[in-house]
Every structure is written in structure tokens, then in C-alpha cells.
Amino acid sequence: MGGPGSSSPCASCKLLRRRCAKDCIFAPYFPPDDPHKFAIVHKVFGASNVSKMLQELPVHQRADAVNSLVFEANARVRDPVYGCVGAISYLQNQVSQLQMQLAVAQAEILCIQMQHEQPLQSHHQVLELDQEDKALLLNSNNINNCNNDNNNLGYAMSSGQFNSNFASPSSIMQMQMQMQMQDPLKQESLWT
Amino acid sequence: MSSSYSNYTNSPCAACKFLRRKCTSHCVFAPYFPPEEPLKFANVHRIFGASNVSKILQEVAPHQREDAVNSLAYEAEARLKDPVYGCVGAISVLQREVLRLQRELEETNADLMRCASYLGGEAASAYGGRRG
């Protein structure tokens, strides 16, 4: 940690070329050994905006706020058009696809269970019944129930404005996010 | 001299209204911040700042600027709603949902295999019984 007196100034004060006061709001979160962290946040958000945001938060939430700002800033620098909104779009599509696959698999199980309850006449007839029931079940409430779960995810999922106004993310961003999002460890600590 | 966008002969764009300056025909914000959506620019300005938005717009190709503005507006709104996590919170929620669905799909596919093999075994034995 940078800071007071004879200590090294924090990364923010170094970049801004000012004296790093004892109560510097940036010092706890932008150590002097990681200059890139503040540089990128300053580039996207601006130092005064970051300062205002931090001042509005209780102290125990500021570290998380800084980390999420760094994440957003990095995403915006990598993809100036979509930023981390591109990742949201990609994940929404992934959720939709998985829900569809799940609905199909669940419908197939129901088909099989229904066949099991009916007397078996011939193997060939069983196969034909499978196709009809599968089509019926795919149009049933099972899919609607899966979609209802989708709407409960929060404003990101239910934001019709976002879904209607955005084109698909760039293919490069898709690949980058695919590589990132496949790491399950990142779900809880996106920025560590 | 009139254009489809705001200029000094028409109503100033939301950005110039907010910044209290003259909205010229070359205003970089005018195409994307119409005067009837004042909150859009206000949010973006509060989180990113007008000069940063201007720099971002100048960096991207003209045909991508509308998407860039919309994504900035989305991020700004998300940050105002959740000052700690912003839209990163939504990413976290979605990642967890993806993992949950993947696990559920694996379990369901495993159940499906079990059901299919069980039914296949019963059908085979019924067919074999009729033949035998």
C-alpha cells in the first residue's frame, strides 16, 4: 500500500503526479506495484468519477467496487464497442441454449416413461410413438417453465432493451469470453 | 442546413443540453443522445464522463458507435443500480446459472441413458418372448 509520509505514493497519485496524502482514497486499492490497474480504470472512467463512486460507498465495499471497475475497464479496452456487455450477451445465449437442451432431455425422459407405462406391442411402434410424444412435449409447458426461470435472473436477463438493441458481440470477443467463462473458478472471484 | 440530428438550428442533443453548450452540426454526441432521452446521457456522463465517452466514440468505427453508446448506457445504468458490482454482478449471476444448468443437463442425460437402456432391455425381452 502506498501512502503517507516517506512511503511510496500509490499508483493513482503517481499517475496523477500529486502528493499521496495520508487519507488518499485510492491508496488502499491501487498499490504502487500495480500501476496498470489504476491506469486502465482512469482511462475508462476517469479518476474523479472513480473517486466520487468510492466516496459514496461504505469502506468495506470499496475493494469489491474497485475490482469490478477494473474488470469493466479491462473489458472495455479489449472490446471498445461492447465492453463487458458482450460477455453478458454471450452468457445469456449460453443459458438459453442450455435451457433448450435440458428441456429436450427432460421431454425425452417423459416420452420414455410414458412408453414404459403403455403395453409394448412392437419395437418399431415404440419408435414411432417416441417421435410424436417428443414433438408434443417440446411444445408443452416444460419449456415455458424453463423460460420463466430465465426471467428471474435479474435485470440483465429481463432487460428487453438490451436484447433488442444489441447486435451479436464480435467473434473475437466471443472466443475470448468463451475462454474466460469456461473457468468455473471465476464465478465467485472474477477479479482474482 | 438542417440535418436529421440536432444542431444549432434545432433542439440541442441531450449531451449539449446537459453540458449547457451549443450543439453544433458536428456534435459527436448528437446522433446517439437525442434530446428526448436526457437520462441516457446523464447516466453515461456520471459514470464515464463526457470526454471519455467522446474518446471511445472516436476510437470505434462510425457504424459501431450506436452499439458502443448503448453498451455504455447499459453499463452506466447497471453501475448506478448496483454501485459495488455494476454489470459485473450480472455476469456473476449468469456464470452461476450456466454452471447450474450444465450440471442439471449432465444429470438429466445420465437419467435419460438409464431410462433408455432400461426400456431397451424390456423391449428386447418382450420381443424375444413373443418370438420364443
* Lowest-confidence segment of A17-21, A112-116, B77-81, B97-101 by average pLDDT: A112-116
SS3 of residue A90 by DSSP:
helix
The residue of A187, A189, A191, A192 whose CB has the most chain B CBs within 10 angstroms, and thus the best one to mutate to test that interface, is: A187
- The string of DSSP codes covering chain B is ---SS--TTSPPPHHHHHHT----TT-SSTTTS-TT-HHHHHHHHHHT-HHHHHHHHHHS-GGGHHHHHHHHHHHHHHHHH-TTTTTHHHHHHHHHHHHHHHHHHHHHHHHHHHHHHHHHHHHHHHHHHHH-
User: Does pLDDT of A112 surpass 90?
Assistant: no
Residue whose entry in the numeric block shows the C-alpha cell 464522463: B49
Residue A16 has pLDDT above 50, yes or no: yes
The reported pLDDT for the residue numbered A130 is 55
Q: How near does any CA of chain A get to the CA of B22, in Å? A: 24
For residues A150-177, average pLDDT? 39
- Report the half-sphere exposure of A114 (CA within 13 A, side-chain side): 16
**Which residues of chain A are within 8 Å of residue B72 when distances are taken between CB atoms?**
83
pLDDT value at residue B82 = 96
Predicted local confidence at residue A162, as pLDDT: 41
A80 vs B60, B89, B97: nearest CB: B60
Average pLDDT, chain B: 87
* CA-wise closest residue to B40 among B12, B70, B7, B10: B70
- State yes or no: pLDDT of A117 exceeds 50: yes
Lowest mean pLDDT among A126-135, A138-147, A178-187: A178-187
pLDDT of A122 > 60? The answer is: no
Could A88 and B90 be called an inter-chain contact, meaning their C-beta atoms sit closer than 8 Å?
yes
Tell me how far apart the alpha carbons of residues B85 and A64 are, in angstroms, rounded to a whole number.
7
Q: How far apart are the CA of B27 and the nearest CA of chain A, in angstroms?
A: 20
Residue A10 or residue A174, greater confidence: A10
Could you tell me if A37 lies within 8 Å of chain B, comparing CB atoms?
Answer: no
- Average pLDDT of the segment spanning B44-68: 95
Work out the minimum CA distance from B24 to partner chain A, whole angstroms.
25
pLDDT value for B2 = 42
Asked if A18 reaches chain B (Cβ–Cβ under 8 Å), the answer is: no
Give A86: exposed, middle or buried? Use CB within 10 Å, 0-12, 13-18, 19+. buried
High-pLDDT (> 90) share of chain A, %: 53
pLDDT at position A178, please? 46
- Dump pLDDT digits (tens) for A67-109: 999 999 999 999 999 999 999 999 999 999 999 999 999 999 9
- If you search the block for the grid coordinates 455504455, which residue do you land on? B72
Task: Specify the pLDDT at position B35.
Answer: 94
Check B95 against A153: CB less than 8 A apart.
no
Mean of pLDDT values over A34-40 = 95
The minimum CA-CA distance between B98 and chain A, rounded to whole Å, is 6
B7-48 residue pLDDT tens: 445 789 999 999 999 999 999 999 999 999 999 999 999 999
pLDDT of residue A176: 42
Q: Which of A37, A32, A33, A38 is nearest to A20 (CA)?
A: A32
| Residue B105 contacts A where some CB pair is shorter than 8 Å | yes
> For A41, left (φ over 0), alpha (ψ -120 to 50), or beta?
alpha
- Residue B101: which of A83, A98, A155 has the nearest Cβ? A98
What's the pTM?
0.69
What pLDDT shows up at residue B116?
Answer: 81
If you average pLDDT over every residue of chain A, what do you get?
73
Residue B127 — pLDDT band, cuts 50, 70, 90?
low
The residue with greater pLDDT, A160 or A55, is A55
The letter for the amino acid at B26 is: H
A120 in Cβ contact with B122 (< 8 Å): yes
Contact A66, B85 (CB under 8 A): no
A53–chain B nearest CA distance, Å: 7
Nearest chain A Cα to B56, which residue? Answer: A80
B5 is written with which cell numbers?
A: 440530428
In sequence order, which ranges of A46-154 are alpha helices (DSSP H)? 47-55, 59-78, 85-117, 123-138, 141-151
Q: Tell me, what DSSP letter sits at residue A166? A: P
Between residues A134 and A37, the one the model is more confident about: A37
For residue A134, what pLDDT band results from cuts at 50, 70 and 90?
low
Q: Is the ipTM of this complex over 0.95?
A: no
Question: B52 CB near a chain A CB, below 8 Å?
Answer: yes
**How far is A27 from A24, CA to CA, in rounded Å?**
5
Q: CB neighbours of B110 closer than 8 A, spacing ≥ 6?
A: none
**For residue range B63-118, what is the model confidence (pLDDT) as tens digits?**
999 999 999 999 999 999 999 999 999 999 999 999 999 999 999 999 999 888 87
In angstroms, the CA A71 to CA B31 distance is 29
